[in-house]
Each structure stands twice: as C-alpha cells, then as structure tokens.
Structure 1
Amino acid sequence: MTLAHSFSPPRPRPDVERLARATTSCHVGGRLRLVTFEIEGVLGGPGRIQSARLEGEARFVLAHARFTSLGEIADALADLVLLPNAEDSVRPLVSRAVARASEASTHETSQTERLFGEKSYVVEEKGFGFVDVVYENAHSGVYRERIRPHTVLPTHVHHHLDEAELVLGSGFLVQGQRVLPGAAFEWPRTFPHRWENTTPVEQSFLCIDRPAFIPTDEVEVDLPIGALGFSSVSRFF
C-alpha cells in the first residue's frame, strides 16, 4: 500500500512561498555540521503554512536523523513537506516543494524539487494504526505514525535502535501524561515508552529511528503506567 495513491493531487496555486528556513546542527558524513535549510512550495489549496511548525518538524528531523550528504537532507525535507495529510493535519497540502541544504563553511549546496504524488510513500498497517515511511537511508529512518481513535500503542522497548519522537496531534497521552504538539522525546535503547490516542480522531507523531526501523526489535513489556518516565523532553514548536 502506498500513501500517495490514497489522495487526489491538490490543485496548485500559482504563488511560490517560502515555507521554512533555519540554520541548525546536524550529523552529516559522520560529523556534526552547521547546515542551513530552506523549504519553498506551491500550496495546493486554501490556507497558509504555519512556518514555525514546519520549521520545527524539519529541525527535529535534522537533529535526530543521520545523513551522508547535504543531498540526503534535501531529499528528506522534500519528502516531509509533500507527505499527504493525516486526519489530524493542520496545514494545507503542498503541490510542489523545493528543499535546499547548504553549509557556509564549505560553500556546498544541494537542492531537491518534487511534485505532490511524484513519490509513492510506503504505508505499513499495524495493530495500533499505520506507519508512513517518509524517508530512509543507511543510518536512520523517518516515519509518521498514525494511531487509530481510542487506541494504545502498547509499552515497548527497542534493543538495537535509538528513537526520537515528535508530537503532531493534540490528543495524546505519552507515558500516561497529556502532551502537546511540538513536544519531543528521546528513547534510548531498552527505554520503555507508550502512546495513547484518547480522541475519536486519528492522531499522529513523527518518529526517527537510528538505524532505520527493525521490525523484530519492537518488544512489548508489561509495566504499570505509573512506572513509566521520560529520558529527555524538548520542544520544537
């Protein structure tokens, strides 16, 4: 199943807009580098992009994923902004996106331009809902997880990957506690974590796995909610 096939292409508006721009540190080629990213796009319907929110999503991806080149960064950001909307999405669809990544110290720049529907996103159905594969490379994976209404993603651990997750929807309990969009959590290996959608609407979050997700490495554990805690909490928007 691919996500692009579930949606009709948006009708583009003629205006190209800057959707997000920031400079941030990220891991490229095995070292930490200061990278500036810029995302431009043509909107496919009414409404406006919340630039601070999209910038936060992009910064989250760059903070936690691992890349071998600026070209991979541009690819990942284009894939992120062209992802078809989930039920809890708050931004209009983008019909065309241009993502750039540059490093001032090396004068290196890479750009990716794509149209909506040009990439078919793989969708994996799970017991709790769906996982949209946004981007994967040799070192990490970027995913959007969509939790069905009134459904729990059970407490689980990973033994062979590190994980970071960013709240997109407004109806989640994480570790049994209410959380707001823009909150991000880091789950080191073997750290138990649990998500619950308390609403009648599908809710989503972004997930970064290092390395890319290993299907056999999601192990449910039986722990009371009161015993669950947090390793690291931050905000991206």
Structure 2
Amino acid sequence: PADPRGGRVRRPVGEGGVDPRRARAGALTTLPRPADFPRRHALARFGRVEILLETAEAGLYLLHVDPGRSITPHLHRVMHELEWLVAGELSRDGAPLVGLSPVEWPRGQVHAYTNHGARPATLFCCDRPPFIVEDEVLVDAEGREVAP
C-alpha cells in the first residue's frame, strides 16, 4: 500500500504482510493420482455401477446399462440427482437422449431410462448426498410405490 506521505509502506511478515521470497518458495502444486481414487464396482438390476468417488457431500458414479435393460421408474425422497448420457443409446419417457445435456432430478421426481441399443450405455450420475440404497423408491406407471 502507498504511504500517505508519498512512498510505499512495506508491512512486515506477521502483521498482515507477506515476504515475496517466502511466498514463491512456499508454492506447492499437488496432482491427484488414479491410485488416490480407487474405483469400486457393484452389480445392479440394469447392469453395473462404477463408483468413482464418494464424499460426505456427494457421490459420482457411472451407470452402465446393459442392452435391453432399464433403470426402472423410481424416485428419491432424500437424494438430488444430476445425470447425463456419456456413451451408448438410452431413452427417457420413450424419447431418445441426444448429446451430453445433463438432466436434473429433484427429490420426488420419477425418472427411468431404457437401453434399446445393441451395446451398453453409460450415464454419468452425481448424487447429493451420496447414493442411499433405501432412497431408491421403485414406483409403477402411476407413480405408486412398489416393492423392489
């Protein structure tokens, strides 16, 4: 900062100032390694789930939907989901998904996907909080809860 008498004022370290030599020497960059984030896999009714990362706040997943299989209609009362197609062919409510447009599923909204293609399809999914098995509420065509 400038000195009101016309010069520059240098704040000593420890009084809100930073010694530029120490700032340069203290710079540190860390890059994550794949081994820091081991992927886990789980079987699902529609195919398999690849668990990329789970924290206290959210979970990141790849949902691999086998040909001819569906993520059946369901809703969540606790989780909030964001999903988008990253590979293959899926339909939602009978309409094919196109491109990488994310779809947000607020709590309580019924959603489902079907793979009509000949190859597995993959959805990237972000759940907040991380996936809760008991919060996967299966419903029928009218939105009534059904047993798993």
Same fold per superposition (TM over 0.5): yes
Aligned to 1:218: 136
Asked if residue 162 in structure 1 is aligned to residue 80 in structure 2, the reply is yes
Contact 1:170–1:181 (CA<8 Å) still a contact in 2? Answer: no
Structure with higher Rg: it is 2
Count matched residues.
Answer: 116
Structure 1: tracts of 5 or more residues without a match: 1-107, 225-237
TM-score norm. by structure 2 comes to: 0.72
SS, match of residue 113 in structure 2 = strand
Return closer, same or farther for 1:197/1:134 CA change in 2, 3 Å cut-off: same
Higher relative contact order (CA 8 A, sep 6+): 2
Hey, what's the Cα distance between the residues in 1 that align with 2:107 and 2:62?
A: 20
TM-score by length of 1: 0.46
CA distance in 2, matches of 1:163, 1:223: 20
Shift of 1:166: 1.1
- Offset at 1:190? 0.7
- Identical-pair percentage: 27
Q: Distance in 1 between matches of 2:60 and 2:51?
A: 7
Tell me, what secondary structure is at the counterpart of 1:168?
strand
The CA RMSD over aligned residues, in Å, is 2.0
User: How many Å apart are 1:176 and its aligned residue?
Assistant: 1.7
Indicate yes or no: 2:122 matched with 1:204.
yes
Q: Which runs of 5+ in 2 are unaligned?
A: 1-26, 143-148
Q: Aligned partner of 1:202: which letter? A: P
Larger % of helix: which?
1
Q: Which amino acid aligns with 1:207?
A: C
Q: Judge conservation of contact 1:170–1:180 (CA < 8 Å) in 2.
A: no
> Aligned equivalents of 1:163 and 1:109: distance in 2?
35
Question: What is residue 66 of structure 2 aligned with on the other side?
Answer: 148
Which consecutive segments of 4 or more residues in structure 1 shift more than 2 A?
A: 108-113, 117-120
Q: 1:148, 1:110 → 2: CA distance?
A: 40
Find the partner of 1:181 among 89, 99, 104. 99
Tell whether 2:113 aligns with 1:195: yes
Q: Provide closer, same or farther for how the CA distance between residues 138 and 183 of structure 1 changes in structure 2, counting only shifts above 3 A.
A: same
Contact 2:88 2:119 in 1 (8 A): no
